[in-house]
Structure 1
Amino acid sequence: MGNPRAIRIFGDLIKSHNPNFIFLSETLVGKDIEGIAEKFGYASSFTVDKVGRSGGLAILWKRSVSCNAVDSSLNHIDGHVMESSGPSWRLTCYYGYLEAAPDKKGPHPHPQHLMNGFRMAIEDCGLTELDLVGGDFTWEKSKGSLSWVRERLDRAFANSEWWQKFPLYKLTVTHTISSDHDPIILEPVCVNHSRKQF
């Protein structure tokens, strides 16, 4: 988000999908994200500042909803979401590695011990992964070369209470030609058939 090209791409995605919530990782900007949020019509935001020349997390949301940040770290933001026309629910956005061999093609597989703790946390919280359509990977590097790497860096999980509130959903990877990272779009449909998107 630190250059005009990235901001232009970001704006195009917003125009195409008009999400209520946006989670950004590796923003590489600090509090400047608040100005970017306002520019694209997002009334509020919560940020975790970058450290040095890397990192940075942010959640943006529209005026029609509210999100109260409960906890955060360099790797996550945990928030309580309240909507005027729907149920309240919990949104936790996490930035870090998940699975290993099945979700990566290319050299240098992730060490198994890095994933074990997170996998155990997923099981302990009773979370189930949402199916992704549109492709198997969300990030790539060095396409067309011998060192071409593709990974599934982005996922969505939900517990049984979320499934009851949003029994229908669509999780899609959206491909971009100008970035090595493809965003994912989650469209949960509430039991009263109101569609929310982030």
Structure 2
Amino acid sequence: MDISIKQSSLNLIYAAVRTFVYAQPIFSQRRHFWTKLQELNTQQWTPCCCIGDFNEILEQHEKQGLRDQPESRMQLFRDCLDNSNLMDMDLKGCKFTWCSNPRQGQVTKEKLDKILINWPWRALYPNSSGFALPIVSSDHSPLLLRLKPLLRPTKLFRFEALWVEDE
């Protein structure tokens, strides 16, 4: 594949084909990353797909754990996506893509890993689908993006003798 890297930093690779993301775990630094993402994605008619660990949730149902996520933090992330003309692609598979080590006897689970796309990208790949695979050797779920739908095997035709009785 030919990938043209337009800009890169420690936490972001911006390429002509895809953007792979690792957002800072520290919230104050993550906000700077969102500003950068908005600056890079100003051309709303250019297809864009960002895959990676955004270290943030969009809605409360994307978290299971001791404390709720502050609404203000989620709203900042939603604003970033709106200003970037990006939307969260629905993932099949695991509901949560990250799990913590147990604290106070409880594990926190969140949907931190996402595939973000814009409408021009969706128009290019209308049958694409995203999958959150099971967490195995990391605390994150690997994401899989299929650009083409899986072809279902055609069923083998079998003639039923009963059919000849019906005109």
Shorter-chain TM range is 0.5 to 0.7
Give distance in 1, aligned partners of 2:79 and 2:117: 15
Give distance in 1, aligned partners of 2:15 and 2:49: 5
2:55 counterpart letter in structure 1: G
Question: What does 1:128-143 align with in structure 2 at a 5 Å threshold?
Answer: 128-142=87-101
Give distance in 1, aligned partners of 2:47 and 2:133: 25
Give distance in 2, aligned partners of 1:111 and 1:186: 30
Residue among 105, 119, 126 paired with 1:167: 126
In structure 2, do the counterparts of structure 1 residues 126 and 90 end up closer, same or farther at CA, with 3 Å as the change threshold?
Answer: closer
TM-score w.r.t. length of structure 2? 0.60
Contact 2:128/2:147 (CA < 8 Å) preserved in 1? Answer: yes
Count of matched residue positions in the alignment of Structure 1 and Structure 2:
122
Contact 2:50/2:116 (CA < 8 Å) preserved in 1? Answer: no
The answer on 1:153 being equivalent to 2:112 is yes
The 3-state SS of whatever aligns with 1:164 is helix
Higher strand share: 1
Residue among 33, 58, 69 paired with 2:5: 69
2:76 maps to what in 1? 117
Contact 1:77/1:93 (CA < 8 Å) preserved in 2? Answer: no
Residues 133-159 of structure 1 deviation map (CA, whole Å, 9 limit, x = unaligned): 112101112369732111111111211
1:101 maps to what in 2? 60
Give distance in 2, aligned partners of 1:128 and 1:92: 10
Runs of 4+ in 1 over 6 A off after TM superposition: none
Query: RMSD in angstroms over aligned alpha carbons?
Result: 2.9
Larger CA Rg, structure 1 vs 2: 2
The 3-state SS of whatever aligns with 2:7 is strand
- Point out which structure has higher relative CO (alpha carbons under 8 A, 6+ apart): 2
Give distance in 2, aligned partners of 1:176 and 1:98: 18
